[in-house]
Amino acid sequence: MNPLYLASGSPRRRELLTQIGVPFSAISADIDETPLIDESPAAYVERLARGKAEAGRAKLAVSESGAPICVLGADTAVVLDGNILGKPVDEADSLAMLMALSDREHEVLTAIAVLDGQRCESRVVRSLVRFRSISRQEAAAYWASGEPQDKAGGYGIQGLGAVFVAGLNGSYSAVVGLPVCETAELLGHFGIPCWQNLTVR
């Protein structure tokens, strides 16, 4: 079976990959995440997912068994009115993001890419998230919790930020950071099945 590497430092992506029973090794893949001029949000996340997978593979040698080495890269963006909301730089930025998202629907785009040196396949998954109305006091308290500081769009749906979510149309796991349905399908194309931790009786 082909060895898999996850080119991500995200603990949430590691948890989701573990959840579907896929063994992997995690590697770092730092790339320039600056959007290109006139680049659409969907093209942006797909380019970064592919770039992370390529950067991860560049760090790896050929496997001892001679089997192709597969690398999974992913990227998530929160998009409001066509604009990508990155990670907040400070409290004022975080509060501005949450106030903009308050009582509105926004897009979450997550791209995944798998490559083995011969080919690269990628997918972009679009989900719609609606927030209830958020007060500035709530936004300030949320920032003080420390959770928003490393999150795209300034919130984590799997954590304390879940209380803001009034509705979701799409993939919950994609909003967290890794769409497990599409990831399992894509890995299957590279000979990596999910549920490898199940015992056949």
**Which residues are known to be catalytic?**
75
What is d(CA 78, CA 107) in angstroms, rounded to the nearest whole number? Answer: 6
- Any idea which residue has 């919790």 for tokens? 145
Residues 6+ apart with CB under 8 A from 200: none
Task: Sort residue 145 into left (φ over 0), alpha (ψ -120 to 50) or beta.
Answer: alpha
- Contact 101/153 with Cβ under 8 angstroms? yes
- The CB density around residue 135, as the number of other CB atoms within 10 Å, is 11
